[in-house]
Amino acid sequence: MVGPWRLGWANGSNMRFSWREKVWLIPVGVAVSVALTGWWCNSEVRRAIEQQLSNELQSMITANVTALNIWIDNQLRFVDSLASEEKIQSLALAVVDRVSKDGAAAEALREYEEVQVLQDYVGPRLQAMRLGFVIIDPEGIIISAPFHGMLGDQLHDEALETFRYIFDTEESVLLTPYKPPRPDPRQMRAGVKGGFGPGEDPRFGGGPGRRGGRRRNRTIMAVAAPIRGTDGSVAAAIGLMIQPEREFTRILSVARSGETGETFAFDQNGVMLSQSRFEGMLQGLGLINDSGPRGSSALNLELRDPGGNLVGGYEPRTPHESWPLTKLVQDAVAGGNGIDVKGFRDYRGVPVVGAWRWLPKYRFGVATKLDAAEAFQPLRVLRLVFLILLLLSVLCGVGLFLFSYFNVMLRRQMEDVALEAKELGQYTLEKKIGEGGMGAVYRARHALLRRDTAVKLLLPEKADAMSIRRFEREVQLTCRLVHPNTIQIFDYGHTPDGIFYYAMEFLDGINLRELIQLEGRLQEGRVIHILEQICASLSEAHETGLVHRDIKPANIIVCDRGGLADMVKVLDFGLVKSCCDDKATSTEATHAFTIAGTPQFIAPEAVSRPDRVDQRSDLYAVGLLAYYLLTGGHVFDGESAFEVMQEHASKTPEPPRERLGTSVDPTLENLILQCLEKKPVNRPASARAMVAALHQSSAHGKWTSKEREDWWVAFRARQGERPKAGAPKSSTILEPTLQINLGERTRVAG
């Protein structure tokens, strides 16, 4: 079983940057620092703003409530002073006594001398103050008022409840703003007598009030006090009517903050008692519908949460009456006093911050609020500044990265040009023909021998200690091999400026991956011809004690060389392992506890026990390669390298005949499947034994020398000026060589 190992590709990208070339990391680091600083500053500034807002809102609500209390106390003291005046007391008590004794009707009250005297005494005093008045008896009957038409009537329910409170508690009381019912037209004809200006609504239960021929939508509030008899009991009550927009609303509007701040009052039903700062906006939003010339939100607006910002274009799907009360009102009517600087929606749906206080003595609440956008404007400016700095830093980073990238690309091109004109000992580099994880391969020419040579370079930026040891080891081990099907090494050295290189024979051919891409799957005779040569090369390596460990299509070159068409060359011994090396050397150079190879061409034991890899692991890879040449596809094709390795370790391969849907030479197919056995002991005994088995196939020899020569003639004709393959790349994008470090994980045997 394959464990959850960390994967690392041995052949990485050739684009490497030095620290000098990574100067673009500086602005990126600055951007990260700016982002972190901005986040911290945002949190700290928001906390400071919230604390400041909390203090300001607390001060504002306290100041407004204090101002209201002072104003209400003044009104109550004034009405108390009227109620305690001897003349008012005596006249009111006289009227109450006559009504009690005579049971006088409303018409009779108008004839009482005491009523007329009372009206004439109280009315002029209140006229300059634009205050109305009414005096009632314990039954709630109006016994004195500016309008004669009001005499003998009873107060309507809301006002009557307040006056009954006076008789029960013998205390002065405030009647919160309300809209009186429409008056009886008879009262309008009765006229006004007393201290009221035109247009005033003169009683708690109604009254005409006209100005300019249009009814004025009037809101009334009042203060009332008991009138005591000679025995000290409450015999009557006097109430003074106040226009709330003149006093009440004005007091609440004094302490407005900014462009959006407002303070308002509301009752236990969430109805606004004072005027909103946003009268015109509310009418435009359809929240109030008042056609009067002095249309007001007072008593017309219920403070409900629409669920979204109406000012910003939000369109609620439910009617206004189904919306819940705003958070502020819900908390206040429950008796709570609070401050919220985190943000909540007001009756317009606009996010606001605010404070509120419930006044149980007067049975209404007071709130002050400010739009969150205005409250946190300094924070928005700060965020904008940090965003600009962040964007500038990112742009600088991107600019420097692009500059570094193109600088490196230009430098690499210049290096390539310089290298192509460079002499490495007796070798003059002419043209780059390949590049891989260990370095670049150039076509070169020997100064004296005048022959084409392939020179592999280990460039200075890749020349760390481990890479140099591996590079040297590849040369030293490959030099032991002299088989014609193994690439030949001619020379090795390094220049004074630190470029390590070795020279090998130049191969003018095509690798097997390119061949399959060009031809598709190969005929059985040609597959056998290629496999024989690969096994012959491996036979020498195995008998020398070497394991290739990276047999794959990209590492096998087929060429037309020395009159031998379709000649195979096995190359790239970069991952070769010597079975004769001592433990220290092997571990250091080839990483004994490292999975090495290419996922599609790796043996099961290389996955589960990489330290147990031997020559039979190469034979497993030969079987995979034979399957690839015969069918044109890999044995296993998983979604990832890990999945492919899992399949190698546990999944049974599909026979080639089933994959192709046609018959396959039984000897060849059986040999391939034998190579793909999970247990090494069940595979062919050696590469030499595989060569012998291939000779037994009925397809052996069917790829004749004439066919080989004809194919290469046609191939050269098709290719025309095609660049020569030379020494192939040591890795490809499709078949990356894999190394997995197992030094720090727990090995799971498979």
- The C-alpha atoms of residue 50 and residue 69 are separated, in whole angstroms, by 28
For the beta carbon of residue 52, count every other beta carbon within 10 angstroms: 13
Half-sphere exposure of 512 (CA within 13 A, CB side): 30
Q: Give bridge partners of residue 408 from the DSSP assignment.
A: none
- The C-alpha atoms of residue 537 and residue 530 are separated, in whole angstroms, by 11
Q: Which residues contact 632 (CB under 8 A, 6 or more apart)?
A: 516, 520, 521
What six digits make up the tokens of 13? 């990208």
- The C-alpha atoms of residue 578 and residue 572 are separated, in whole angstroms, by 15
> CA-CA distances (angstroms) from residue 256 to 251, 294, 407?
10, 21, 61
What six digits make up the tokens of 458? 């280990």
- The C-alpha atoms of residue 256 and residue 303 are separated, in whole angstroms, by 19
Instruction: Tokens 């060359």: give the residue.
Output: 569
Do residues 117 and 95 lie in contact, with contact meaning Cβ atoms separated by under 8 Å? Answer: no
> CA-CA distances (angstroms) from residue 23 to 13, 408, 411, 460, 656?
20, 12, 16, 20, 54
The amino acid present at 278, given as its one-letter code, is: F
Do residues 340 and 328 lie in contact, with contact meaning Cβ atoms separated by under 8 Å? Answer: yes
- The C-alpha atoms of residue 542 and residue 570 are separated, in whole angstroms, by 13
- Listed in order, strand segments (DSSP E) in 407-547 are 423-424, 427-435, 440-446, 452-458, 489-494, 500-505, 509-511, 546-547
What six digits make up the tokens of 186? 């008879």
For 419-429, b where at least 16 C-beta lie within 10 A, e where not — what string? beebebebbbb
- The C-alpha atoms of residue 43 and residue 439 are separated, in whole angstroms, by 51
Degrees to nearest 5, angle at CA 320 with 318 and 324: 90
Give, for 26, the enclosing helix (H) or strand (E): helix 25-83
DSSP state of 552: -
Q: Measuring CA to CA, which residue among 450, 464, 456, 452 is closest to residue 424?
A: 456
Which stretches of 438-507 are DSSP H helices? 465-478
Degrees to nearest 5, angle at CA 15 with 11 and 18: 115
The amino acid present at 146, given as its one-letter code, is: P
Q: Which residues contact 610 (CB under 8 A, 6 or more apart)?
A: 592, 593, 594, 595, 596, 740, 742
- The C-alpha atoms of residue 145 and residue 148 are separated, in whole angstroms, by 7
The amino acid present at 427, given as its one-letter code, is: Y
> CA-CA distances (angstroms) from residue 81 to 78, 122, 133, 243, 740?
5, 12, 14, 20, 98
Degrees to nearest 5, angle at CA 410 with 454 and 437: 40
Q: What is the 3-state secondary structure (H, E, C) of 87-142?
A: HHHHHHHHHHHHHHHHCCCHHHHCCCHHHHHHHHHHHHHHHCCCCEEEEECCCCEE
Per the annotation, the verdict on 710 as an active-site residue is no
Give, for 56, the enclosing helix (H) or strand (E): helix 25-83
Q: Could you say which of 305, 331, 550, 618 is catalytic?
A: 550
DSSP state of 553: G
- The C-alpha atoms of residue 173 and residue 163 are separated, in whole angstroms, by 8
- The C-alpha atoms of residue 255 and residue 205 are separated, in whole angstroms, by 33
Do residues 531 and 551 lie in contact, with contact meaning Cβ atoms separated by under 8 Å? Answer: no
Residues marked as catalytic: 550
